[in-house]
């Protein structure tokens, strides 16, 4: 299969054409042909969870811009992105972006860090988001706006000092992924993890004092919190059994509950994973050959096995529910070793590969996994991810999923970089701007892979005018030319 075999979503212009393609390709994805009027839209319904009211069913997913200062404070670019989140119209801001709890946990030298010295700047960025929301939607519009901060340690994917110098601190060894780090991988020791639990708690307290209503204890995308969940081969109290593998997450949450009352704790979880992929000679992605029995958390071998692959995630969700966590953001895989699973795209990022499947299948897989978990945990509130590839059909699929209770909120990632106020347009019934839809060119992922800031270089005029846009376009052209030579 190659990209050219998958029709571009923009060419599936009618509901009949979209449905015919899904049926022909056996992609299980349902959608509403018509969008409801704003007053009857499932997107417009508020949701109440344990005394928190969120004003509608749009959620902005966390997205880093690799654009903080070297000290870990936001820059003007970071602030602009957060203001855009504020004007989007979405009422749930899931964490804004991954913020490291400590310098060595940064995924890049420009990632934000939550520390005493950076807290005032991060607090004022949150205020700017809220102010932008009020300016656009009214003086009291923030009454049902729920804004949190995503806390992370990047673990295996830490690159705190130089963008192309990894400083991995893994949860366990990995026969395939370790080979991608020629200078070796250090496994974090138990005592360091115990210390890190305190650091997460301190960061959560700073987030609370900065005005954030919740913190997300990030457990996705191959970073430390996620890798620990799959650390079967690790010995000691944080490895082996699921009880041990969830110890870090559990203890962080318990500590925050005890030390920072009033702060909600939520979790973004890669609810399933797949084995690491690599680029085949013709540029298309394929599973690493010897990865059949590699470790991991809720690893999916084939789509028939989704129910059973989710079993470990169910174990984690039971534990989280028992701890009083009410909000879950479902995501999948990792942008580092299987990007087509995590953020389905037609065009690969610089370090990626041509899609090995119709990206719509990747979207459908995340929707189905979220629906299965929602069915099993009706008391948890689920945000779904990976809708951006749906482009014009995003509101139609989202409306169907909300109406059918397959998820509670629809999360928006890349589309918000290209079309920040899509939620506002859907909620008011305004005509949707076709030329603003993210076409999944992946430049927002390629930029950071080149040590540049992230942004929607092809479609956001602000980024299109920046010098990085030219560099990224040139790299994209060269990579595609090389792929088509194969
Ligand atoms: C540029 C970029 C940065 C991202 N940064 C984060 C992040 O900081 N934390 C996180 O949990 N996910 C991050 N993601 C993943 C998104 O939240 C989302 O899961 C993914 O893009 C799929 O959703 P979409 O199809 O709407 O883009 C990032 C994605 C992109 C494209
Ligand atoms: S660069 Fe823009 S169009 Fe490309 S994937 Fe990112 S948001 Fe979408």
385 lines ligand 1 (CB under 6 A): yes
User: Which tens digit of pLDDT belongs to each residue from 132-157?
Assistant: 999 999 999 999 999 999 999 999 99
**In a 3-state reduction of DSSP, which class is residue 273?**
strand
Q: What does 37-106 look like in DSSP terms, one character per residue?
A: PGGG-GGG--EEETTEEESSSEEEPP---S-S-TTS---HHHHHHHHHHHHT--SEE--SSEEESSGGG-
Region class of 381: left (phi > 0), else alpha (psi between -120 and 50), else beta: beta
Euclidean distance between the first and final Cα of the chain, in Å?
A: 14
pLDDT of residue 484: 55
64 lines ligand 1 (CB under 6 A): yes
443 lines ligand 2 (CB under 6 A): yes
Which residue's CA is the closest to the ligand 2 atom numbered 2?
456
Reading the block at residue 254, the tokens are: 């318990």
| CA–centroid distance, residue 416 to ligand 2 (Å) | 9
| CA–centroid distance, residue 453 to ligand 2 (Å) | 13
445 lines ligand 1 (CB under 6 A): yes
439 lines ligand 1 (CB under 6 A): no
pLDDT of residue 139: 98
pLDDT of residue 486: 43
User: Which tens digit of pLDDT belongs to each residue from 189-210?
Assistant: 999 999 999 999 999 999 999 9
Number of the ligand 2 atom closest to the C-alpha atom of 345: 5
Per-residue model confidence as pLDDT tens for the chain (486 residues)? 555 689 999 999 999 999 999 999 999 999 999 999 999 999 999 999 999 999 999 999 999 999 999 999 999 999 999 999 999 999 999 999 999 999 999 999 999 999 999 999 999 999 999 999 999 999 999 999 999 999 999 999 999 999 999 999 999 999 999 999 999 999 999 999 999 999 999 999 999 999 999 999 999 999 999 999 999 999 999 999 999 999 999 999 999 999 999 999 999 999 999 999 999 999 999 999 876 667 899 999 888 899 999 999 999 999 999 999 999 999 999 999 999 999 999 999 988 999 999 999 999 999 999 999 999 999 999 999 999 999 999 999 999 999 999 999 999 999 999 999 999 999 999 999 999 999 999 999 999 999 999 999 999 999 999 999 999 988 887 776 665 544
446 lines ligand 2 (CB under 6 A): no
415 lines ligand 1 (CB under 6 A): yes
User: Which tens digit of pLDDT belongs to each residue from 386-426?
Assistant: 999 999 999 999 999 999 999 999 999 999 999 999 999 99
Q: With 0-12 CB in 10 A as exposed, 13-18 as middle and 19+ as buried, what is 465?
A: exposed
418 lines ligand 2 (CB under 6 A): yes
Ligand number nearest to the C-alpha of 412: 1
| CA–centroid distance, residue 258 to ligand 1 (Å) | 30
3-state secondary structure 340-390: HHHCCCCCCCCCCCECCCCHHHHHHHHHHHHHHHHHHCCCCEEEECCCHHH
| CA–centroid distance, residue 412 to ligand 1 (Å) | 9
Cα 466 to the center of its chain, rounded Å: 25
413 lines ligand 1 (CB under 6 A): yes
Which residue's CA is the closest to the ligand 1 atom numbered 10?
62
| CA–centroid distance, residue 182 to ligand 2 (Å) | 31
61 lines ligand 1 (CB under 6 A): yes
Q: At 264, give phi and psi (nearest 5°).
A: -80, 150
pLDDT of residue 2: 55
User: Which tens digit of pLDDT belongs to each residue from 285-326?
Assistant: 999 987 666 789 999 988 889 999 999 999 999 999 999 999
């Amino acid at each position: 299969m190659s990209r050219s075999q998958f029709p571009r979503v923009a060419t599936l212009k009618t509901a009949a054409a979209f449905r015919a393609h899904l049926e022909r390709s056996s992609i299980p994805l349902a959608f509403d042909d018509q969008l409801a009027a704003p007053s009857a839209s499932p997107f417009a319904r508020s949701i109440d969870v344990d005394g928190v009211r969120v004003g509608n069913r749009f959620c902005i997913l966390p997205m880093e811009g690799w654009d903080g200062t070297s000290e870990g404070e936001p820059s003007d670019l970071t602030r602009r992105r957060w203001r855009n989140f504020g004007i989007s119209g979405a009422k749930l801001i899931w964490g804004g972006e991954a913020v490291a709890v400590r310098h060595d946990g940064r995924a890049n030298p420009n990632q934000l860090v939550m520390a005493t010295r950076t807290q005032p700047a991060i607090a004022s960025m949150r205020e700017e988001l809220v102010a932008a929301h009020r300016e656009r939607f009214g003086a009291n519009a923030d009454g049902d706006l729920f804004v949190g901060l995503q806390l992370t340690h990047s673990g295996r994917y830490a690159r705190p000092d130089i963008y192309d110098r990894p400083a991995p601190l893994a949860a366990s060894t990995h026969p395939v992924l370790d080979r991608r780090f020629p200078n070796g991988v250090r496994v974090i020791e138990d005592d360091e993890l115990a210390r890190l639990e305190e650091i997460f708690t301190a960061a959560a307290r700073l987030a609370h004092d900065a005005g954030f209503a919740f913190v997300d204890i990030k457990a996705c995308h191959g970073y430390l919190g996620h890798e620990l969940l799959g650390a079967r081969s690790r010995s000691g109290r944080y490895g082996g059994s699921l009880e041990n593998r969830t110890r870090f997450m559990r203890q962080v949450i318990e500590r925050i509950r005890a030390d920072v009352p009033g702060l909600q704790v939520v979790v973004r979880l890669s609810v399933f994973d797949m084995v690491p992929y690599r680029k085949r000679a013709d540029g298309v992605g394929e599973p690493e050959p010897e990865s059949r029995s590699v470790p991991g958390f809720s690893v999916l071998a084939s789509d028939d096995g989704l129910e059973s692959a989710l079993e470990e995630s169910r174990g984690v969700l039971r534990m989280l529910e028992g701890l009083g966590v009410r909000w879950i953001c479902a995501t999948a895989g990792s942008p580092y070793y299987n990007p087509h699973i995590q953020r389905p795209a037609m065009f690969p990022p610089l370090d990626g590969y041509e899609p090995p499947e119709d990206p719509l299948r990747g979207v459908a897989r995340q929707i189905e996994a979220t629906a299965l978990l929602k069915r099993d945990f009706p008391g948890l509130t689920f945000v779904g991810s990976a809708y951006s590839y749906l482009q014009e059909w995003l509101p139609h699929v989202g409306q169907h999923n909300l109406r059918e209770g397959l998820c509670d909120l629809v999360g928006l990632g890349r589309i918000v970089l290209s079309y920040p106020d899509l939620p506002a347009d859907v909620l008011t019934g305004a005509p949707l701007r076709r030329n603003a839809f993210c076409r999944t060119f992946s430049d927002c992922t390629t930029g950071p892979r080149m040590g540049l800031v992230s942004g929607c270089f092809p479609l956001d005029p602000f980024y299109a005018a920046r010098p990085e846009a030219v560099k990224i376009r040139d790299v994209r052209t060269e990579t595609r030319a090389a792929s088509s030579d194969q």
